Amino acid sequence: MNITIPLFIAALLAATTLLSSCSAQETPSGDQTDAVADSVKVQKSEAEWKEELPHMACFVLREKGTERAFTGEFWDHHDKGVYRCAGCGQALFDSDHKFESGTGWPSFFQPAEGTAVLEEEDDSWGMRRVEVLCSACGGHLGHVFDDGPKPTGLRYCINSAALSFEKEDTEDKENAQGIRCD
């Protein structure tokens, strides 16, 4: 009984978080991400984020929501380029580090740069997981697990809604080289 009560409370808290929507006027502040909030460069009020972001991006980035598997834009996306934060535009992941995880979420074995993301312990839903956040705006991206492929053995399981994609422009590079060779 001593174990089930805290689990029940944790589940209840998590459910409350999920139920709060991006259209709400206020969200409770002062949760465990205060340390992150203080360190991020892009500081906006929750009201500003709600105004700027599409509903799903807001739900994921600002309220730590999770999109349903196989519904996002990028789980089956194979173009070459850079995945940026949908909130602030910081480069987060590179298509060279993307792999097929079979989970229905875009998965990467490492961030574009080590400093692009922050990682925090996340004990919601009675599970111990490691949350992944954008280091520039503190937006929630997803979680990282240690069952990924080589060389890192990590699996960054990221919500498509938290990302925007910038395709690598190979044609322009070839043209630029051609001009230089003349």
Which amino acids are annotated catalytic?
157
Of 10 and 130, nearer to Zn ion (C-beta) is 130
CB of 109 to Zn ion, least distance (A): 21
Q: Is 106 in the site for Zn ion (CB under 5 A)?
A: no
How far is residue 161's CA from residue 158's CA, in Å, rounded to a whole number?
Answer: 9
Amino acid at 88: C
CB of 29 to Zn ion, least distance (A): 18
Nearest in space to 60 (alpha carbons), one of 137, 161, 144: 161
Of 40 and 157, nearer to Zn ion (C-beta) is 40
144 bridge partner residues: 130, 156
Order of strands, sheet of 117-122, starting from the edge strand that comes earlier in the sequence: 98-99, 107-108, 155-158, 140-145, 129-134, 117-122
CB of 8 to Zn ion, least distance (A): 33
Q: Is 139 in the site for Zn ion (CB under 5 A)?
A: yes
Residues contacting Zn ion: total by CB under 5 A: 8
Q: How far from 138 is each of 33, 61, 85, CA to CA, in Å?
A: 8, 8, 10
- Can you give the length of the chain in residues? 182
Q: Is 111 in the site for Zn ion (CB under 5 A)?
A: no
Residues 45-104 that bind Zn ion (CB under 5 A): 85, 87-88, 90
Q: What is the DSSP string of 123-151?
A: -GGG--EEEEEETTT--EEEEEES---TT
CB of 67 to Zn ion, least distance (A): 17
Q: Is 142 in the site for Zn ion (CB under 5 A)?
A: no
Of 117 and 154, nearer to Zn ion (C-beta) is 117
| Positions that interact with Zn ion (CB under 5 A) | 85, 87-88, 90, 134, 136-137, 139
